Chain A
Amino acid sequence: MSDQHRAVIERTTRAQLMARLRIGILAAGTGGLLLLSLPNMLRDWERYESAWAQACAFAMLAAVLCVEAVLVFRGRLAPVRWQWAAIGTVVTASVLSYAALPYGHAATAGDWIFGQANWVGLAPLVGRPLPVPLAFLALHWGIALTSMLLNTAADRATVLRFATGSIGVIGYPLCMAVTAAAFRGIARSAAAAKWQTEQVAVVEAAAVESHQRRRQRFADLDLSMVPLLEGLATGRLDPTDRGVQHDCAIEAARMRRLFAEVDVVPNRLLHELRHCADVADRKGVLVELDTRGQWPELPPPVRRDLTEAPLTVLATAASWARVTVVGGPDLVCVNVLADCGPVDLPRPVTPQVRLDTFRSEEQLWVEVRWQADASPR
């Protein structure tokens, strides 16, 4: 669970929450463009100094809305680079439109861009901190004001017209910008809540898994260890009996291996074998452990198969044992030679592991071999 993942959660949550607001602003922008701006522009078409400049400005705004629409319907937040490009396009369109407005036309119906560029520019800025849309609206209003002052007589009627127009042009988008800013805070806390929920779910899943692993490990012990302990507790088994002592030594070695299995070490097989050998060592058995070669990390069931027979032999050895491991990329051989009496060796569970035993008088020689391709030799 990285910071990157957290950022992704926050982005998607914000995109989901902002989607409806963005659709609303997009609809306002598109509706205004087609139902108000277009008829106004066409009505004054003949009176513009350059009608094509107006058409060009209109096309630029339409293009910004189109890109924004694509982003909204794909459920993506507007990337910052796109936001700057969109604002640049909207401002350019405004300047172009005002430059082509004949004298005295500012703040009339023919000044279509005044009531239009504000919505188009606001659309990609939804989700940005409040000062950003405010600055854009101020810039837009500033351009319109400059145009009005430079390009009209700025008489009382014009200024009043501009002032009343400004209420709608700045007021309504401002309401939307404030709402969007409030949404931004909500989106952030929603994302944080979602992140926490996910964290809890992950911790829970990990706990369930480790619980299951523990249960599995206890189940493995249950089969052999619990009857032994129960036997000793009830007096059914005699601790002075050699067979019982052997069984206890084997179970002790299994437990040692179980504890060693969770250790994080470079060579797990050797680590586990050393723990098995240690049990024999503590009984006073002289253990030699010699290894040659290098082998890949083996999965736990294979390691268990490779250590199970050596563990049994080591636990029942009378006075000495020699353990050798020779490994390569696709073959690992564990050999144990020891002076031990008859033992019952469990068969390997994984098909890639083979067990061979050879007895010569008092010596028992066991070879457990793992072969990567599992081809029988």
Chain B
Amino acid sequence: MGGSALAGGRITAVIVDDHAAIAAGVRYWCEQARPTIELIDARARMANVWTGPGAGADVVIFDLELVPKNPAFGELRRLADYGRRVVVYSQHSDSPTVLKCVNLGALAYLTKTEGPEHLVPAIRAAAAGRPYTAPSLGGALAGDDDPGRPRISHREAEVLRAWFAASSKELVAARLRISVKTVDTHIERVRIKYANVGRAARTKSDLVTRALHDGLITLDELGAAPDPVS
């Protein structure tokens, strides 16, 4: 999996969504993206994600609610455990659902009000095995008061809140007088911390291992030592 993306080839993604219009819309965005993303429509059947052309896709775009009022957390867990890179694309925006998906190993969580400006970068990031944090997810992380949440620094919380408020990294960077890259680093560090306290899955170990290797975060920051702020 992910071979084509790593080799610099075209990214392939498979979408599982019971709304034909969503699949068609995402297909259009993928075709318009430069470079283009190849989209396979699983036609709302999980079997098409595991077998056939969908099995080899770099990224799974996953509608959490294939069956109304019954979020498919189990399917998400199986995908993450198998090492599939999942972008959840859902109409739910409530924090518990969002945070649970992140905890289960989804690399991105987007609400359906978030369009191609977030979905396309999310697919690209996921294809490279990196997390993507859309504004709605940033807000959920900033407002998380679960006792088991990781400690995030004052600056990281500030960046998350600003990202949620502005939906534009350029604006966040300009307001906080930092570079867009620094904004990204802060957000990604939070995601690594969350991945580290999340349940063990292949995506988690990949994420954390690479973040440590890249020097994005240190073992101390991941460990028990909490930040002295917020």
A interface with B by C-beta (< 8 Å):
288, 290-294, 322, 324, 326-329, 331, 333, 335, 337, 358, 360, 363, 365, 367, 377
Contacts and interface: CB of A to CB of B under 8 A. Distances in A.
Interface in B58-115: 93, 95, 113
A358 B145 CA distance: 28
Contact of B139 (A290, A294, A331, A365): A290
A293 to B, nearest CB: 2
Q: Report, as a range, how many residues of chain B touch the other chain.
A: 20 to 34
Looking at chain B's contact residues, the main secondary structure is helix
B175 interface: yes
B171 A363 contact: yes
Interface in B174-206: 174-175
Interface stretch (B10-18, B26-34, B161-169, B218-226): B161-169
12 contacts: A290-B164, A292-B143, A293-B143, A293-B145, A326-B161, A326-B164, A329-B145, A337-B165, A337-B171, A358-B171, A363-B171, A365-B171
A87 to B, nearest CB: 62
B143 A365 contact: no
What are the 4 closest A-B residue pairs judged by CB atoms, nearest first? A293-B143, A335-B165, A292-B143, A292-B139
B171 A324 contact: no
If over half of A's interface residues share one DSSP class (helix, strand or loop), that class is named, otherwise mixed; here it is: strand
Contacts of B164: 290, 292, 324, 326, 335
A218 to B, nearest CB: 34
Nearest to A356: B175
Nearest to B160: A326
Given A292-B139, A292-B142, A293-B144, A365 B95 contact: no
B117 to A, nearest CB: 14
Interface of B: 93, 95, 113, 136, 139-140, 142-145, 154, 161-162, 164-167, 171, 174-175, 230
A322 B114 CA distance: 13
A335 B139 CA distance: 12
Given A293-B144, A358-B175, A360-B174, A322 B167 contact: yes
Contact of A327 (B143, B166, B174): B143
Given A326-B164, A337-B166, A292 B140 contact: yes
Given A291-B139, A335-B161, A365-B171, 4 more contacts: A294-B145, A326-B143, A335-B162, A358-B171
A69 to B, nearest CB: 61
A365 B230 CA distance: 23
Contact of A290 (B136, B144, B145, B175): B136
B162 to A, nearest CB: 8
Given A290-B164, A367-B165, A326 B139 contact: yes
A293 B174 contact: no
Contacts of B161: 326, 333, 335
Nearest to A334: B165
Nearest to A294: B145
Given A292-B95, A322-B165, A363-B171, A328 B145 contact: yes
A329 to B, nearest CB: 7
Contacts of B93: 290
Nearest to B230: A331
A191 B140 CA distance: 59
